Amino acid sequence: MNTKGRVALITGSAGGIGKAIAVKLSQHGAKVIINDVQQEKIDETVAIIREAGGDVIGIKSDITNKTEVQEMFAQIIESYGKFDILVNNVGISRDALIVKMEEEDWDKVLNTNLKSYFLCTQEATKHFIQQEYGRIINISSRAWLGGFGQANYSAAKGGVVSLTRTCAIELAKYNVTANCIAPGLIDTPLFRSFRQDSQERLLKIQPINRIGQPEEVANAAVFFASDDSGYVTGQILHVCGGKSLGARW
């Protein structure tokens, strides 16, 4: 799977799944842009990729803000002269039962996990249509099927799936594909922030009885980013150890 010479933006990529995708794309020859809101972590990830010989820049940007998104893309074009691959990855959670969920937590999760995907996709699409080439990879979650105490998170991730399918339909004639990855339990700082008993409970019902690694999600992202996936669009790939099929009892 070759992405040599392609220019790829990965949002929320200073750590976790986003970082793994950025590293993997760089290993396959892509020029990568690390985006996040924490400059120190951006610099750390940029240094890791650069030390391995990768072509990389970091951009701190609040991608829930349209002006900052536009400025970020302008900087990408100034640096590389083109843009080829968008990986919408940024995500947060603010779990609570729906009767207790604060409006602020609903808005924060929907803005971060869905609105940012729309804003970045809208801006990227301008370049994709002009050059008649592009790859959109959206990171959703198995939670798009529903999750206890996750009305905001599940709604946002379900919205990501629908956004992906719509983009696939609208952009196919421009040689632009849009696909979605739905990870399950992945060894990220978010999962490790759960209480120990919660982690154990989730693992107990996991069909493949282990936690997934960020690199396993990255492998799927590289496929969707490569020319090998040119006839695949509008699809959802669950990287979830079988959890989308049901729980292991």
3-state secondary structure string across 108-132: HHHHHHHHHHHHHHHHHHHHHHHHC
Helix (H) or strand (E) holding 204: helix 196-204
Distance between CA atoms of 132 and 152, rounded to whole angstroms? 35
Distance between CA atoms of 124 and 115, rounded to whole angstroms? 14
Phi, psi of 2 (to 5 degrees): -110, 125
Of 80, 117, 133, 153, catalytic? 153
97, two tokens: 């039962």
Phi, psi of 31 (to 5 degrees): -90, 125
Q: Which residues contact 235 (CB under 8 A, 6 or more apart)?
A: 179, 180
Phi, psi of 245 (to 5 degrees): -85, -20
Query: Which residue spans within the chain are E strands per DSSP?
Result: 7-10, 31-36, 56-60, 85-88, 134-139, 176-183, 236-239
153 is an active site residue: yes
Q: Which residue in 205, 57, 61, 177 sits closest to 119, CA to CA?
A: 61
Q: Which residues contact 30 (CB under 8 A, 6 or more apart)?
A: 3, 4, 5, 6, 7, 8, 85, 225
Catalytic residues: 153
